[in-house]
Amino acid sequence: MRKFLKFYTDLFGVWVFLGFILAYFFPQVFIPLKSGMEAFFAFTMFGIGVVLNLEELTAILKSPHLIFLGVCAQYTIMPFLGFLLARIFNLVRDFGLGLILTGSAPGAMSSNVISYLAGADVAYSVSLTTVSTFLSPVLTPALTYFLAKFYFRVNFWTMFWGILKMVVIPLSLGIIVKMKFKKKIEPFVAIFPAVSVTFIVFICALVAALNKEYLSQMNLFLLGVVLLYNLLGYSFGYGVGKIFHLSFKRRRTLSIEIGMQNAGLGVVLALKYFSEKAALPAALFVIVSVITSALLARYWRRV
């Protein structure tokens, strides 16, 4: 069973791509699942809390200056870069908002796996992702309000409570369960990464189903902007690490953390508070970042 779950999780990018294609051709299968989106996301965050390596997290938290640097980079580079790209390429308001939402999200939990594959500092990755996630109820709506008010009316408090319920509370409960019942839940731990993969596949498929009409007319322009956004994130993240004289391993970590976003959260927020079209850049970002991060990890593993 564990081998099958590992095989399933390792092919993350393949399932995301296949789910996106299937939903495009059979949207009627996926659209009814929209009502369960928030509950599924909350369960995914609970599972992440259960599998979180608390020993690694505790060790790196003893260097708060590194966490401060990483979180500051996370919540400045990508949000403002998203805003600039939306303005430079004159994106329509839904896509501009979608780009900003993606950049204002915390780090992706899958970045921890990519950091491991890239030979980066996994403990640093886990810490940055965890801290940025706990800060997301305040920083994600605040940045979205500040940067996206040109496109949509953003209600800070509505988003704050939504992220608190979908992200922070389930994640905290998962950590508490792990601390209280560590040995008893050990046999089930392998299930949760597969659940996370399933959610991302589902959420990307749902966006494809809801945007079928637009996707049939879409050229490669938006995909190109999303790819540029992702690659600039890696570059700026690595650059910040170099400027502050971080070790080579930690530069890799920062590059991956900045370049990969919890775009699944961006999709959920876009669908819940804004529009189906606004969720499309975030869904494309998931697909693009899964492919580029795997290639980057492979390259770094060899050098």
pLDDT digits (tens, 9 = 90+) for 10-45: 777 777 778 888 888 888 888 887 777 778 778 877
Q: Which residues contact 206 (CB under 8 A, 6 or more apart)?
A: 23, 30, 31, 33, 34, 37, 267, 271
Domain assignment present for 23: no
What residue numbers bound the domain in which 131 lies? 35-302
The pLDDT assigned to 244 comes to 94
Lowest mean pLDDT among 76-85, 106-115, 161-170, 250-259: 106-115
CA 240 to chain CA mean position, Å: 20
Q: Report the largest interatomic distance among the alpha carbons of the chain, rounded to a whole angstrom.
A: 53
| Rg (alpha carbons) of the chain, rounded to whole number | 18
Domain assignment present for 179: yes
Structural domains counted in the chain: 1
CA dihedral 174, 47, 168, 130 (to 10 degrees): 100
| Structure tokens that stand for 119 in this block | 């030979």
Domain assignment present for 216: yes
pLDDT, tens digit, for every residue of 117-170? Answer: 777 887 888 888 888 888 989 999 999 998 987 777 778 888 888 888 888 888
Domain assignment present for 15: no
CA distances in angstroms from 90 to 114, 151, 154, 179, listed in the order given: 32, 12, 20, 49
Domain assignment present for 222: yes
Better-scored residue on pLDDT, 123 or 243: 243
Q: Where does the pLDDT of residue 219 fall: very low under 50, low under 70, confident under 90, or very high at 90 and above? A: low
Domain assignment present for 9: no
Contact by Cβ (8 Å): 133, 107 = yes
Domain assignment present for 7: no
pLDDT, tens digit, for every residue of 162-207? Answer: 888 888 888 888 888 888 887 777 777 777 777 777 877 787 787 7
Q: Where does the pLDDT of residue 218 fall: very low under 50, low under 70, confident under 90, or very high at 90 and above? A: low
- Could you tell me the end-to-end alpha-carbon distance of the chain, in angstroms, rounded to an integer? 34
For the domain that residue 80 is a member of, what is the CATH number? 1.20.1530.20
Collapsed DSSP state (helix, strand, coil) of residue 261:
strand
- Asked if residue 73 has pLDDT above 90, the reply is yes
Domain assignment present for 16: no
Contact by Cβ (8 Å): 282, 101 = yes
